[in-house]
């Protein structure tokens, strides 16, 4: 999968994305992440990329020409128009569902804004989507771009090695992740749950699923309600409610377990 990140600060992005799992995936060629310095495409002799906003107001606005030419350089190189995302606090809120959708793209261009924003005309011309990572404002789009790349990249085949590495993580299937434990078995008087030491995989999986339900219900009731609505029978069965109802129904019909 390829990402091209249009930015005024390529060094900050490269330093982060060259580390750890994402860095190793880049080295292996699983991920192709490139930064494009918008300033290199400025037609201004001083390589200026911003100007005062029409209509007045504080701050500066990124000018459209260098952004468009930086974007066009990628399009001309590959010979097609990749999906282009503008990282903006006005965009739709990023989540795991969107990450899974973006994982299906072979190539994504990400535009990082700065200053007071970007000339609206270039956004209209090149952006297919606007995405926000939260209801707050940052000084630039570089951090949001790195969040998006990191989140989507983890879902790409081969980056984590196996689907199991992310399939039970928080938000992957609409639930928060179960609590994790490692050595020592006792820490400051707190013991690892006995079921995790039992070696009984079926019981461990059941315990983990119940903890995912409990944790999500307690910490994110909005997520729990949405998950329960879609998976009501599975949730009831996990809590033992469904099996009890079935037993009561069998007894009322005069049917016993032997039958």
- State the pTM of this model: 0.84
216 CB neighbour count, 10 Å cutoff:
24
Residue 258 has pLDDT above 80, yes or no: no
User: Do both 209 and 105 map to the same domain?
Assistant: no
Q: Would 128 be classed as within a structural domain?
A: yes
Residue 258 lies in a domain: no
Range in 44-48, 104-108, 139-143, 161-165 the model is least confident about = 161-165
Q: What is the pLDDT of residues 186-201, one digit of tens each?
A: 999 999 999 999 999 9
Alpha carbons 257 and 259: distance in angstroms, whole number: 5
CATH number, position 72: 3.40.1280.10
Would you state the pLDDT for residue 259?
41
Distance CA 238, CA 244 (A): 11
37 and 132 assigned to the same domain? yes
Is the domain of 60 the same as that of 117? yes
Residue 92 lies in a domain: yes
Write out the residue range of the structural domain in which residue 246 sits: 186-252
Antiparallel, parallel or unpaired: β 129-132 and 107-112: unpaired
Write out pLDDT tens, residues 140-163. Answer: 999 999 999 999 999 999 999 765
Shared domain for 190 and 144, answered yes or no, is no
Q: How many domains does the chain have?
A: 2
Q: What was the pLDDT predicted at 161? A: 73
Strands 2-7 and 32-37: parallel
Give yes or no: residues 100 and 43 share one domain: yes
| Same-domain check for residues 47 and 137 | yes
CATH code of the domain containing 228: 1.10.1270
Residues 61 and 118 in one domain: yes
């Amino acid at each position: 999968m390829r990402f091209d990140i249009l930015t005024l600060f390529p060094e900050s992005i490269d330093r982060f994305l060259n580390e750890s799992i994402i860095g190793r995936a880049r080295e292996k060629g699983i991920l192709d992440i490139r930064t494009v310095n918008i300033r290199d495409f400025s037609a201004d002799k001083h390589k200026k990329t911003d100007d005062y906003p029409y209509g007045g107001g504080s701050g500066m606005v990124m000018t459209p020409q260098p952004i468009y030419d930086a974007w066009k350089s990628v399009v001309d190189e590959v010979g097609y128009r990749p999906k282009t995302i503008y990282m903006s606090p006005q965009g739709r809120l990023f989540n795991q569902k969107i990450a899974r959708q973006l994982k299906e793209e072979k190539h994504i261009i990400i535009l990082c804004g700065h200053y007071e924003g970007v000339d609206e005309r270039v956004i209209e011309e090149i952006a297919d989507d606007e995405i926000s990572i939260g209801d707050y404002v940052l000084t630039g789009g570089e951090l949001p771009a790195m969040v998006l790349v990191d989140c989507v990249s983890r879902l790409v085949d081969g980056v984590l090695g196996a689907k199991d590495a992310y399939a039970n993580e928080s938000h992957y299937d609409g639930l928060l992740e179960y609590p994790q434990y490692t050595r020592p078995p006792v820490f400051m008087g707190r013991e690892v749950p006995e079921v995790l030491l039992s070696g009984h995989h079926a019981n461990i999986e059941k315990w983990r699923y119940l903890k995912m339900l409990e944790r999500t219900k307690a910490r994110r009731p909005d997520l729990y309600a949405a998950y329960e609505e879609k998976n009501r029978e599975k949730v009831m069965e996990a809590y033992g409610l469904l099996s009890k109802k079935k037993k009561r129904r069998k007894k009322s019909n005069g049917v016993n377990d032997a039958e």
